[in-house]
Structure 1
C-alpha cells in the first residue's frame, strides 16, 4: 500500500531517547492536519513538561488500572517506567481524517504493527551514538548512570529499526522534518 493511501491515519515515530522525536513532532504538529497523541507515563515530569500536554503523568497503580480497563492501544515498560497510548484520541483523529502521531518505543511500535498493519512506522536515528550521548548529557535531566542505561537501550532499539517502513537520520532537525513531510506527502 502506498503512503498516499495511508495519508489519513496512524503514524508511529520511534527512536532512542535523545534522538529528537519530541522536537520533530513539535514542528510537524504545526500543520493543522497533524495531531500528536499524548501518552500516559509513570515517570516524573522533566523541567518544562506539562501534564496533559507533554504526557499524562500518573502513578503506577493508576496506570495499571487503565491497563485493566483496556484504555490503551499499546503500552510498554521502558527504563523502569510505564508508557501507554490512550485509545480515544487515536480513534477521534482517525475519524476526523487527520494524521495522528504516536511517539512510542519499539515495544509499543511492534504492538501497533500487529494491531494496525496499515499504519506508517518511522524510526528516528541519531547520526551516531556519540552524538546521542552528547544530546542526553545536554538535557541536564539525568545522571550519568541513567544516561548509560539509555545508551544501552538505544543500541538495542537501533537494531530494531529494520522493522520500520522508514529510517530518518536526525543530524539536522530541519532536514529530518523535511524528510518526514515528504514521506507523509504533506
Structure 2
C-alpha cells in the first residue's frame, strides 16, 4: 500500500529539516506542491514547486489550497501521484488543516507526524536564525495559523505521532524507529 507521511506543526518546528532527513536517509521523496507565485532565480519548476498560471492552477484536483499575499498554493492529487510513481512512501509538509483533509480522503494511507518544540522561545530563535525579520517573526508566532498549528486537531488526534524536535539526535532516533516499524 502506498503511504504518505504528513509533517505538520507551527513554523520553526523543523518540518522541512525532517523532510530533508527522510529524503537523504531513506530516499523518501517529497510531494511537490503548486503555486502561482513567480519562480525565484534559484528555483526550478518540477523540483522546488510546480509553478502554475492561475488558469493551470485551477485545473488541478487539490486536497488543500490557500491564497497568501495574492498568490495561490496547494497540494494536488496529481502531485501526490507523481511522487508515488517514484516511491511507495512519500512525505508532504502541510498545515494542520491540510493534514485533516488528507486523513479524510486517504485514511490509513496517511501517517501524520505533528512536529513540536517545548517552548515558543525555541520557535522564535529558529525563525530568527533562518533570517526572518524580528517583527515578522513576532507576527507569525502570534498569528491564527501558527496558534492553530501548535495543536493537533481533534479529528486526527488518535492517528497522529507527536515528535518533539528539541534535540536533533533524539528526533532522528524516533524517526528511525518509526520508519523501521513500517
- TM-score, normalising length from structure 2? 0.78
**Partners of 1:169 and 1:80 in 2: how far apart?**
33
Q: Which residue of 2 aligns with 1:177?
A: 172
* Pairing 1:158–2:153 present: no
Tell me how far 1:113 sits from its aligned partner: 1.5
Query: Structure 2: any 5+ residue segments left out of the alignment?
Result: none
For residue 130 of structure 2, what is the aligned residue in structure 1?
139
Q: CA deviation at 1:168?
A: 0.3
How well do the aligned residues superpose, as a CA RMSD in angstroms?
2.9
Residues 26-41 of structure 1 correspond to what in structure 2 (within 5 A)? 26-31=20-25, 33-41=27-35
Corresponding position: 1:21 with 2:15? yes
Q: Paired residues, what number?
A: 174
Q: Look up the match of 2:3.
A: 9
TM-score relative to the length of structure 1: 0.77
Aligned equivalents of 2:39, 2:136: Cα separation in 1: 15
- The answer to whether the 8 Å contact 1:15/1:125 transfers is yes
2:85 counterpart of 1:90: no
Measured in 1, the distance between the counterparts of 2:167 and 2:39 equals: 26
The residue number in structure 1 matching 2:65 is: 75
Deviation at 1:178, TM superposition (A): 2.5
Helix, strand or coil at the partner of 1:34: coil
Residue 167 (str. 1) matches residue 162 (str. 2): yes
C-alpha distance in 1 between matches for 2:153 and 2:119: 14
Structure 1: runs of 5+ lacking an equivalent = 1-5
